[in-house]
Amino acid sequence: MRASQFLISTLKEAPADAEVASHRLMTRAGMIKKLGAGIYTFMPMGLRVIRKVEAIVREEMNRAGAVELTMPVVQPAELWQETGRFDKMGPELLRIKDRHERDFVVQPTSEEVVTDIGRQELRSYKQLPKNLYQIQTKFRDERRPRFGLMRGREFIMKDAYSFDRDHAGAQRSYQAMAKAYRAIFDRFGLRYRAVAADSGAIGGDLSEEFQVIAATGEDAIVYCPESDYAANMEKAEALAPKGPREAASKPMTKTPTPGKSTCEDVAALLNVPLQTTVKSLVLATDETNDKGEVVKSQVWLLLVRGDHDMNEIKVGKVPGLDNGFRFATVPEIVEHFGTKPGYLGPINTKKPVKVVADREVAVMADWICGANEEDFHITGVNWGRDLPEPDAVADIRNVVEGDASPDGKGKLAIERGIEVGHIFYLGTKYSVPMNATFLDEDGKPKPFEMGCYGIGITRLPAAAIEQNHDERGIIWPDAIAPFSVVVCPIGMDRSADVKAAAEKLHDDLLAAGVDVILDDRGERPGAMFADWELIGVPHRVVISDRGLKEGQLEYQHRRDAAATKVPAGEVFTFVK
Ligand code: ATP
Ligand code: MG
Ligand code: MG
Ligand code: MG
């Protein structure tokens, strides 16, 4: 490929709404282009990455015996009514009408359609097991699309669905996918963890998420360094003892001044370090008994990072705070709220309000918290955006760093992750309501035992960047780089030798099956190198007159601090 023919559109500035590195860098590198909230064009450079992700996934799915098909993006509502999901699913499901006023959905996933295919095409036990998959556009009307491709509304998912005769068969199909997923994620060259996930109402232990480890991840993963125990926070909490954990005490040392205070002020006031990675949140919990009397109150505090634009809270009179109230340490709170919705009540109402995790900090319009007496409150805590729906006060179960691992083999540690894949045993959840049966050996109809298996194809490159970047740009793992090698000629327009050498190297690499791009745009070296460092191509070869005179080229890996002189003939050993 020649850069002059390709579309390269790098930007100096990142968009204002880009909060994480992958969003900033994919935009600046010209890989994605925003069209609407959570809706992106995959520009040519970005599409090359996505195609490589797809190819790896496809290869391993095929190797595991799955069969590819493509199901429609727009699906008639009737099928979704059969399972009840048309009504149950809530606003994430995009419902549309055609010209005849008939209802349709835009697929967020495809259990209904694939189950419909199963009940028509898989009639006999002899045709089982089967695993059908697609790599297709999905739409989910996410409450807060953000982080670029990480949480889009339109995105690409690989979704696979297995059909089996019985539970034992379904378990084998599940295990085959668990193995294929490890093979897939190993090939991307990322640090990841397979963690147990909650299989919800279906029961059993057959659900795992594949989490790419990254500080910016939206999920918390609980694991035991001494054993192979690993679970997402939801699952870990399901096993943990019930009830709110007592906050470690940290009495307040100074009296706040009424009026506006910055988070730094509040941090100083409360004698806690300013946490630099989470947003601030000051909330009170009230536990009431059946008569509505408050039996226990706690104040929780999360501090915002100093440079954040929502870092002001108003502090009213809070003398009650040093009077029986205790503050949890910031790490405890981070683990508590940064991982799982907490259920808290503002003290001036009895209505419980669901407060979501740190990054989705709920907007608390004039939230009041603090003591249980009039005028002894922090008032006007007021930031965030949409207030989530009130939810029932649920059992709070806590898991924090240092707790004993459920397997008894050590202590728990917590880290953050990005969910890039999810495998799930479904049982007969879809086959029974849709009456999807096959004839078993005894001639009787039986519902399929099913499983479903997703991979976030477009989320994966974003996760890869969260793990692999520096101040200059992206550093792609070889397996999913848009190009493996960039050939950068210096003064190609002036020197016939440089031009000839660059073109020859490009052609030779291409002939050897290397994904190479020749930068023939005539950019100055500084600008040219900056572009490719931003785009993150792993291998760079620079060709100059001076080097050619010595029979040498300059090779530099994207992670190398400096270039190495390489005899022209040896470049291949570096880039393959
Ligand atoms: P999340 O918890 O991040 O909302 P999910 O559990 O709702 O994801 P699944 O239904 O398990 O997602 O879908 C399978 C995979 O699709 C996920 O593991 C993830 O990689 C990807 N995915 C889900 N939602 C999105 C999205 N909005 N944008 C990009 N990828 C997504
Ligand atoms: Mg989701
Ligand atoms: Mg999830
Ligand atoms: Mg999931």
Q: Which one of the ligands is nearest to 108 CA?
A: 1
pLDDT bin (cut points 50, 70, 90) of residue 358 is very low
Q: Where does 457-528 show beta strands of DSSP type E?
A: 469-470, 473-474, 485-489, 516-518
- The atom of ligand 1 lying closest to the CA of 460 is 20
pLDDT of residue 241: 64
Burial grade of 382 (CB within 10 A; 0-12, 13-18, 19 or more): middle
Average pLDDT over residues 299-315: 33
- The atom of ligand 1 lying closest to the CA of 456 is 20
ipTM of the predicted assembly exceeds 0.90? yes
What is the per-residue pLDDT across 557-572, written as a single tens digit (0 to 9) for each? 999 999 999 998 888 8
Q: Which one of the ligands is nearest to 421 CA?
A: 1
Look at 83-87, 336-340, 453-457 and tell me which has the smallest mean pLDDT. Answer: 336-340
Parallel/antiparallel/unpaired status of strands 130-139 and 67-68: parallel
pLDDT bin (cut points 50, 70, 90) of residue 382 is very low
pLDDT of residue 18: 87
Sign of CA dihedral 94, 98, 101, 104: negative
The model's pTM is: 0.79
Parallel/antiparallel/unpaired status of strands 539-543 and 485-489: parallel
* Ligand 1 atom 11, closest CA: 422
Cβ neighbours of residue 259 closer than 8 Å, sequence gap 6 or more: 314, 315
Q: Please tell me the distance between residue 269's alpha carbon and the centre of ligand 4 in angstroms.
A: 40
pLDDT of residue 293: 60
For the record, the structure tokens of 294 come out as: 């408050």
For the record, the structure tokens of 205 come out as: 């232990």
Average pLDDT over residues 24-36: 97
Average pLDDT over residues 36-54: 98
Q: Please tell me the distance between residue 419's alpha carbon and the centre of ligand 3 in angstroms.
A: 6
- The atom of ligand 1 lying closest to the CA of 418 is 3
Tell whether the model's pLDDT for residue 254 goes beyond 50: no
Q: Which one of the ligands is nearest to 455 CA?
A: 1
Cβ contact 341:396 at 8 Å: no
pLDDT of residue 203: 57
Q: Please tell me the distance between residue 6's alpha carbon and the centre of ligand 3 in angstroms.
A: 36
pLDDT bin (cut points 50, 70, 90) of residue 423 is very high
- CA distances 427 to 112, 173, 205, 207, 441, Å, are 14, 12, 12, 12, 20
Tell me the best of 416, 419, 420 to mutate to test the pocket of ligand 1, counting ligand atoms within 8 Å of each CB and taking the most.
419
Average pLDDT over residues 300-317: 32
pLDDT of residue 200: 64
Tell whether the model's pLDDT for residue 345 goes beyond 50: no
Q: Please tell me the distance between residue 50's alpha carbon and the centre of ligand 2 in angstroms.
A: 20
Counting residues of the chain whose pLDDT is more than 90, the rounded percentage is 63
Q: Please tell me the distance between residue 419's alpha carbon and the centre of ligand 1 in angstroms.
A: 7
Q: How many helices (H) and strands (E) does the chain have?
A: 14, 31
* Ligand 1 atom 14, closest CA: 454
What is the per-residue pLDDT across 97-118, written as a single tens digit (0 to 9) for each? 999 999 999 999 999 999 999 9
Cβ contact 169:449 at 8 Å: yes
Q: Please tell me the distance between residue 557's alpha carbon and the centre of ligand 3 in angstroms.
A: 35
Q: Where does 173-215 show beta strands of DSSP type E?
A: 192-196, 207-213
Tell whether the model's pLDDT for residue 298 goes beyond 90: no
Mean pLDDT taken over the chain: 78
- The atom of ligand 1 lying closest to the CA of 159 is 14
Angle formed at CA 242 by CA 192 and CA 388, multiple of 5 degrees: 70
Structural Rg of the chain based on CA atoms: 28
pLDDT of residue 461: 98
What is the per-residue pLDDT across 205-249, written as a single tens digit (0 to 9) for each? 799 999 999 988 888 899 999 999 999 988 887 777 654 343 322
The three-state secondary structure class of 196 is strand
* Ligand 1 atom 18, closest CA: 421
* Ligand 1 atom 3, closest CA: 419
Q: Please tell me the distance between residue 491's alpha carbon and the centre of ligand 4 in angstroms.
A: 51
pLDDT bin (cut points 50, 70, 90) of residue 19 is confident
What is the per-residue pLDDT across 499-558, written as a single tens digit (0 to 9) for each? 999 999 999 999 999 999 999 999 999 999 999 999 999 999 999 999 999 999 999 999
* Ligand 1 atom 24, closest CA: 151
How many CA within 13 A on the CB side of residue 209? 23
Ligand 1 shell residues, CB under 6 Å: 109, 140, 142, 151-152, 155, 157, 419-422, 454, 456, 458-459
Q: Measure the CA–CA gap between 564 and 80, rounded to whole angstroms.
A: 60
Q: Please tell me the distance between residue 8's alpha carbon and the centre of ligand 4 in angstroms.
A: 34
Look at 5-14, 133-142, 219-228, 261-270 and tell me which has the smallest mean pLDDT. Answer: 261-270
The DSSP result for 131-162, as a single string, is EEEEEEEEE---SS-BTGGGB-SEEEEEEEEE
